[in-house]
């Protein structure tokens, strides 16, 4: 057995998990759903204008709190995960940025999409 075989198995598993499983496609739509529960598109606003006002409820804030203490990829107890620095979460623990819903970028697009669907 070659020396690089275990590393090759780990890399293969990570690639399959990230690109062939449902993990990346599921994370952003789930976050979008929670964001939209708290920030419904105002019917009377101008198309193309996005101002993120106050949340209508605590759903999005609760979900963000959940994400801050829960690893997306690796099962780690929240008591251990929460205090870790962001750089460690994003590199060592594989919680890459492309899994996360960005309120500024993705939030405005979600509200605009909801506004178009209501029209």
Using CA atoms, how far apart are residues 68 and 85, in angstroms rounded to an integer? Answer: 11
**Cβ atoms within 10 A of the Cβ of 117, count?**
8
- 57: domain range? 24-42+53-118
Q: Give domain status of residue 65, yes or no.
A: yes
Using CA atoms, how far apart are residues 69 and 67, in angstroms rounded to an integer? Answer: 5
Model confidence over 55-80: pLDDT tens digits? 678 889 999 999 999 988 888 999 99
Q: Give domain status of residue 86, yes or no.
A: yes
Q: Give domain status of residue 16, yes or no.
A: no
Q: Give domain status of residue 75, yes or no.
A: yes
Q: Give domain status of residue 6, yes or no.
A: no
Using CA atoms, how far apart are residues 37 and 55, in angstroms rounded to an integer? Answer: 9
Question: Which range is least confidently modeled, 10-24, 26-40, 67-81?
Answer: 10-24
Q: Give domain status of residue 112, yes or no.
A: yes
Q: Give domain status of residue 48, yes or no.
A: no
Number of domains in the chain: 1
Q: Give domain status of residue 3, yes or no.
A: no
Predicted TM-score (pTM) of the model is: 0.72
Using CA atoms, how far apart are residues 74 and 94, in angstroms rounded to an integer? Answer: 8
């Amino acid at each position: 057995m070659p020396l690089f075989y275990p590393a090759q198995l780990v890399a293969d598993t990570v690639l399959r998990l990230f690109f062939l499983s449902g993990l990346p496609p599921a994370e952003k739509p789930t976050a979008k759903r929670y964001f939209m529960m708290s920030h419904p598109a105002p019917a009377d606003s101008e198309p193309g204008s996005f101002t993120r006002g106050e949340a209508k409820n605590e759903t999005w804030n609760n979900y963000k709190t959940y994400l801050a203490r829960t690893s997306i990829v690796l099962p780690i107890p929240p008591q251990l995960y929460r205090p870790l620095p962001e750089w460690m979460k994003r590199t060592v623990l594989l919680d890459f940025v492309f899994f996360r819903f960005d309120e500024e970028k993705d939030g405005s697009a979600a509200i605009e999409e909801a506004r178009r669907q209501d029209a």
